[in-house]
Amino acid sequence: MAKRWFVLRVGTNRENRVKKTLWTRVQTHDLTEKVTQLLVVTERVTEIKGGQRRTVERKVYPGYVMAEIEVDDETGKVPPEVWHLIRDMPGQIKFVGNPDDPDKPQPLGPDEVTKMLAQVERLKAEEPGKTTMDFTIGEHVVIREGSFENFEGTVEELQPEKGMLKVSIMVFGRPTPIDFESWKVEKKQD
């Protein structure tokens, strides 16, 4: 028997609940040798919102759970007991695969599995706390706090590790690049 990775489509923000419930059902039905792993790929990200820095866990593939399932060597099909266990779960849970035949799920290819597992390992080893900011270079913004309140400018540089932006604003008729904390800046509403 060979093990293959399959992708299950679930409701967004239900990935962890589905993973936990499915794993409980696998254990209850004594199928742990057929379903060996369930995986929700996540990364830790630091966000700055409203001047507050917080670390959150964000799903890399929202709406999907990865499942390693032992398949039949000759046919490559998911065992019927596993198929029914997954398909009979409450909620909308479906195998991702062949659109012409929804009853025949497509396993991930070897290169896709290698990439996914390498990404999981990289994310585990990565320093937690990568900061994200909801700005892009060249975007028009308005300063909302400080000496330059209500000045408009253009984002020139992002410094997510510091939570800072470099914004070019007009001071005495000249464009002047100034560093601002990201929470003191907001996108300009057109």
pLDDT at res. 29 = 92
Residue 128: the pLDDT is: 54
Amino acid 129: pLDDT: 52
| Domain spans of the chain, in order of start | 2-131, 133-187
Tens of pLDDT along the chain (190 residues)?
688 999 999 988 889 999 999 999 999 999 989 999 999 988 877 766 666 677 778 888 889 999 999 988 777 788 889 888 888 888 778 888 766 666 678 888 888 888 888 888 877 776 555 556 678 899 999 988 888 888 999 999 988 777 788 999 998 889 899 998 877 888 887 6
pLDDT of residue 147: 84
The third-level CATH classification (topology) of the domain covering 2-131 is Alpha-Beta Plaits (3.30.70)
Q: Please, what's the largest Cα pairwise distance for the chain? A: 77
> Can you give the pLDDT at residue 153?
92
- CATH no. of 133-187: 2.30.30.30
* This prediction's pTM: 0.64
Q: What is the 3-state secondary structure (H, E, C) of the chain?
A: CEEEEEEEECCCCCHHHHHHHHHHHHHHCCCCCCEEEEECCEEEEEEEECCEEEEEEEECCCCEEEEEEEECCCCCCCCHHHHHHHHCCCCCCEECECCCCCCCECCCCHHHHHHHHHHHHHHHHCCCCEEECCCCCCCEEEECCCCCCCCEEEEEEEECCCCEEEEEEEECCEEEEEEEEHHHEEECCC
